[in-house]
Structure 1
Amino acid sequence: MRKQRVFGETRRRTRRNDEPRQHRVSLRLGDDEMAAVQAGATLARLTPAGYAARTVVAVAMGTLTPIPPTTRDELRELLEARTALTRIGNNLNQLARARNAGGDVTDEQLLAVLERVEAAVRRMDEATIVNMRRRRRRD
């Protein structure tokens, strides 16, 4: 078995449990495409050829669905916004604790902030679901 260097360590190549692959596919890639494949392979701890093979087969068999960059960016924004709202909710809980400990925060203030946070989280969840359904329809 051939040894390969990944992340500065030497690892033995693992053999697949099933039959060896008998067919070859040749790819021609531009510099940017090759850099992307090499980066993905490094993260996956595979050779570029192994990474390309695994990715192509997964897409072809339907176990991996590529997400267009625009959709991926939309989802990332939604998830980041939801995370921010969750943090605001946590801050609201801290305000409630402070008030319960004798701080100067009224019930009305707490309820108003809580209602806004809950409404915003609901909107974010709904937008995420709509986005995911739109993505499924494209598949």
Structure 2
Amino acid sequence: MAEPPADGARQRPATRRREREAGGARETRIKVSYNDDEHAIVKAAAERDRQATASWIGRVALVVAEEIVVPTPVNAKAVVGELIEARKQLKRIGVNYNQIAKVLNSEGEVPGPQMIAVHEALVSAICRLDEATLQVMRERKERG
């Protein structure tokens, strides 16, 4: 078991560094300034990823610049949530449609109100999905 440091100082938790580039050492430096609130947000994000703050900023800046990741506003979570919910609804409705098709294919009868209810639910879910998708596309267009 490792001995604690003699001077009683706490050791910092290990952080990951950005991978070294094949192009050689990184010698260009950029100064980034934040107010206290912004710095707290960036520092917390770096800690979540177990990285030094400067390494985290460098990695995030590169993946955004290379368009590996497209930044999405925090308020877009509601739109993405709507897309996910609509997808779930469409899947459920698809199961209902398959059950109705099975009955029809076996020459059974499907009551009219049931067909209308499933059809209306399907149309509603498709409209919600379309609107949410258009909203995401509008937001991306404004950024680009």
Q: TM-score range by the shorter chain?
A: 0.5 to 0.7
Gaps of 5+ in 1: 101-105
Which whole-Å CA distance do the structure 1 matches of 2:138 and 2:18 have between them? 40
Deviations for 1:62-114, whole angstroms, at most 9, x for unmatched residues? Answer: 443322333x1342342243155247537847xx59xx8xxxxx633432332
Q: TM-score by structure 2 length?
A: 0.62
Q: Which has the higher strand share?
A: 1
For residue 31 of structure 1, what is the amino acid of its counterpart?
D
Q: CA deviation at 1:123?
A: 0.7
Q: CA deviation at 1:33?
A: 1.7
Which whole-Å CA distance do the structure 2 matches of 1:67 and 1:44 have between them? 18
Matches within 5 A, 1:68-83: 68-70=73-75, 72-83=76-87
Which whole-Å CA distance do the structure 2 matches of 1:125 and 1:133 have between them? 12
- Judged with a 3 Å threshold, the aligned counterparts in structure 2 of structure 1 residues 112 and 49 are, in CA distance, closer, same or farther, namely same
Matches within 5 A, 1:108-119: 108-119=112-123
Q: TM-score by structure 1 length?
A: 0.63
Gaps of 5+ in 2: 1-11, 104-109
Which whole-Å CA distance do the structure 2 matches of 1:42 and 1:107 have between them? 58
Which of the pair has the greater relative contact order for Cα pairs under 8 Å at 6+ separation? 2
The number of residue pairs the alignment matches comes to: 126
CA contact (8 A) 2:86 2:126 kept: no
CA contact (8 A) 1:4 1:13 kept: no
Q: CA deviation at 1:120?
A: 1.9
Are 1:47 and 2:56 matched, yes or no? no
- Judged with a 3 Å threshold, the aligned counterparts in structure 2 of structure 1 residues 18 and 107 are, in CA distance, closer, same or farther, namely farther
How large is the RMSD of aligned CA atoms in angstroms?
3.5
The corresponding residue for 1:103 is: none
